[in-house]
């Protein structure tokens, strides 16, 4: 071996290394090329191992010839490696990366369910007239749901309320437990009247909203579970005119200032006289349509002057005080406000229904 043939072999090695580096398609491929050329068992070492056959003064010259080849190969490796890594990153970004031009997902905003929303609106309107909201239990005694409201046991008026009775163990405490009375799921919010009268003395102005239950055949306008808001006012000199004025103000606030209203005679055991309160149909504006059974009117609540027996049952002297009461279906008011045709939608838990309101 002489210097010239070393030179030839070094050049050949360099050229093949460059070609292999350029052809490597991955960082792993480059690693293989690197160890094949520059590694401990690589070609460059093997070539330089032959240096021992040279004369003492040629050895450093060959060493000097080998260095630029090694440096060129190292530089080419580094450059190619950087190029491959950049391309790999680019590819990953393309495959997994975020598309920043995509529109964002809007934050989901909840809102009140139409029933509590309507309940609050009712409370807000009557609140302007000094009515305050009080709560009353859903599991009630026969006494408060019926008897104290002038509906004796076995009286035909009970047929107006399809009742769900609750069994309780003989030992259980609670309302009516002393005399072994029936417990039931309240069929209306009216027992709240008796509770309010027994708790406070006149003047009384309360609303009691909440869930009621009846043994109903469920259809688009009847649920076995529904909502009512009860109102009660007791004071000296309270008259039917006050009731009418208050309900008119309510109807106008809830259904528009031009909404016609009317009283019709009605019957409830706990009021005398009793009325049904109607508003002009919100669908046809009084023309007559299927929604109002072609009458042009819709009944939104029952009301009347509190029966003297009921006042007395509430611990109030009917010779001194008078009162009026009213009860409305919250579901019905909400259905009229939002043009909902099926009462079952309220409790069906379908977000598509709730989001459309
Ligand atoms: N409690 C009655 C019902 O559920 C509604 C009602 C009517 C309540 C007249 C009243 C009232 O306070 O005076 O059908």
At 190, phi and psi to the nearest 5?
A: -60, -30
The minimum-distance atom of ligand 1 relative to the CA of 187 is 4
pLDDT band at 177, cuts 50/70/90? low
Nearest CA to ligand 1 atom 8: 327
pLDDT band at 205, cuts 50/70/90? very high
pLDDT band at 175, cuts 50/70/90? low
Is 327 touching ligand 1 by the criterion CB < 6 Å? yes
Ligand 1 test: best mutation among 326, 328, 331, most atoms within 8 Å of CB?
326
The minimum-distance atom of ligand 1 relative to the CA of 328 is 5
Ligand 1 test: best mutation among 268, 299, 311, most atoms within 8 Å of CB?
268
| Mean per-residue pLDDT of the chain | 91
Distance CA 44, CA 232 (A): 104
Average confidence (pLDDT) over 171-194? 79
Nearest CA to ligand 1 atom 4: 188
Average confidence (pLDDT) over 322-344? 95
Distance CA 120, CA 135 (A): 14
Find the 266 Cα to ligand 1 centroid distance in Å.
Answer: 10
Q: Is the pLDDT of residue 102 over 90?
A: no
**Which is more confidently placed, 95 or 264?**
264
Spatial strand order of the sheet with 139-141 comes to 139-141, 183-185, 164-166
pLDDT band at 173, cuts 50/70/90? low
Is 230 touching ligand 1 by the criterion CB < 6 Å? yes
Average confidence (pLDDT) over 57-67? 84
What is the reported pLDDT for 180?
A: 59
Average confidence (pLDDT) over 73-80? 90
Find the 276 Cα to ligand 1 centroid distance in Å.
Answer: 9
Q: Is the pLDDT of residue 169 over 70?
A: no
Is 188 touching ligand 1 by the criterion CB < 6 Å? yes
Find the 332 Cα to ligand 1 centroid distance in Å.
Answer: 14
At 185, phi and psi to the nearest 5?
A: -85, 125
Query: Who's near 204: CB < 8 A, 6+ residues apart?
Result: 196, 197, 232, 233, 234, 235, 323
Distance CA 96, CA 156 (A): 74
Q: Is the pLDDT of residue 46 over 80?
A: yes
Ligand 1 test: best mutation among 196, 225, 303, most atoms within 8 Å of CB?
303
Find the 326 Cα to ligand 1 centroid distance in Å.
Answer: 6
DSSP β-bridge partners for residue 227 = 211
Q: Is the pLDDT of residue 227 over 60?
A: yes
Is 323 touching ligand 1 by the criterion CB < 6 Å? no
Nearest CA to ligand 1 atom 2: 327
Asked which of 72-76, 146-150, 189-193 is least confident by mean pLDDT, the reply is 72-76
∠ CA 149-151-153, rounded to 5°:
130
The minimum-distance atom of ligand 1 relative to the CA of 230 is 12
**Which is more confidently placed, 171 or 56?**
56
Q: What would the 3-class secondary structure string for the chain be?
A: CCHHHHHHHHHHHHHHHHHHHHHCCCHHHHHHHHHHHCCCCCHHHHHHHHHHHCCCCHHHHHHHHHHHHHHHHHHHHHHHHHHHHHHHHHHHHHHHCCCCCCCCCCCCCCCCCHHHHHHHHHHHHHHCCCCEECCCCCEEEHHHHCHHHCCCCCCHHHHHCCCEEECCCCCCCCCCCCCCCCEEECCCCCHHHHHHHHHCCCCEEEEEEEEEECCCCCECCECCEEEEEEEEEEECCCCHHHHHHHHHHHHHHHHCCCCCEEEEEECCCCEEEEEEEEEECCCCCCCCCHHHCCCCEEEEEEEEEECHHHHHHCCCCCCCCEEEEEEEEHHHHHHHHHCCCCHHHHHCCCHHHHHHC
∠ CA 174-180-185, rounded to 5°:
55
Is 326 touching ligand 1 by the criterion CB < 6 Å? yes
Is 261 touching ligand 1 by the criterion CB < 6 Å? no
Q: Is the pLDDT of residue 83 over 80?
A: yes
The minimum-distance atom of ligand 1 relative to the CA of 160 is 14
What is the reported pLDDT for 176?
A: 56
Are 306 and 316 within 8 A, CB to CB?
A: no
Are 13 and 44 within 8 A, CB to CB?
A: yes
Q: Is the pLDDT of residue 14 over 70?
A: yes
What is the reported pLDDT for 174?
A: 63
What is the reported pLDDT for 270?
A: 97
pTM score > 0.75 for this model? no
∠ CA 92-94-97, rounded to 5°:
75
């Amino acid at each position: 071996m002489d210097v010239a043939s070393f030179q030839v072999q070094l050049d050949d090695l360099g050229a093949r290394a460059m070609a292999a580096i350029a052809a490597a398609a991955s960082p792993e491929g480059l690693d293989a090329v690197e160890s094949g050329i520059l590694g401990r068992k690589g070609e460059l070492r093997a070539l330089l191992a032959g240096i021992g056959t040279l004369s003492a003064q040629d050895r450093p010259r060959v060493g000097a010839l080998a260095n630029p080849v090694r440096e060129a190969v190292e530089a080419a490796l580094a450059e190619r490696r950087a190029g491959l890594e950049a391309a790999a990153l680019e590819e990953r970004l393309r495959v997994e990366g975020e598309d920043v031009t995509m529109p964002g997902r809007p934050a989901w905003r909840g809102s009140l369910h139409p029933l509590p929303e309507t309940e609050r609106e009712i409370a807000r309107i009557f609140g302007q007239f000094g009515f305050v909201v009080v709560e009353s239990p859903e599991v009630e005694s026969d006494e408060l749901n019926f008897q104290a409201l002038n509906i004796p046991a076995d009286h035909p008026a009970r047929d107006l309320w399809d009742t769900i009775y609750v069994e309780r163990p003989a030992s259980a405490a609670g309302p009516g437990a002393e005399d072994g009375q029936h417990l039931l799921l309240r069929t209306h919010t009216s027992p709240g009247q008796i509770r309010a009268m027994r708790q406070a003395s006149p003047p009384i102005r309360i609303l009691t909203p909440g869930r009621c239950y009846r043994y109903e055949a469920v259809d688009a306008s009847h649920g076995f579970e529904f909502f009512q808001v009860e109102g009660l006012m007791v004071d000296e000199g309270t008259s039917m005119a006050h009731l009418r004025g208050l309900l008119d103000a309510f109807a106008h606030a809830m259904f528009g200032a031009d909404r016609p209203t009317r009283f019709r005679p009605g019957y409830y055991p706990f009021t005398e006289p009793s009325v049904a309160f109607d508003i002009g149909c919100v669908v046809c504006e009084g023309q007559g349509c299927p929604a109002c059974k072609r009458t042009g009117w819709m009944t939104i609540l029952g009301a009347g002057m509190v029966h003297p027996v009921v006042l007395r049952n509430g611990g109030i002297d009917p010779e001194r005080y008078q009162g009026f009461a009213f009860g409305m279906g919250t579901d019905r008011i909400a259905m009229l406000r939002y043009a909902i045709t099926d009462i079952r939608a309220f409790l069906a838990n379908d977000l598509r229904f709730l989001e459309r309101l």
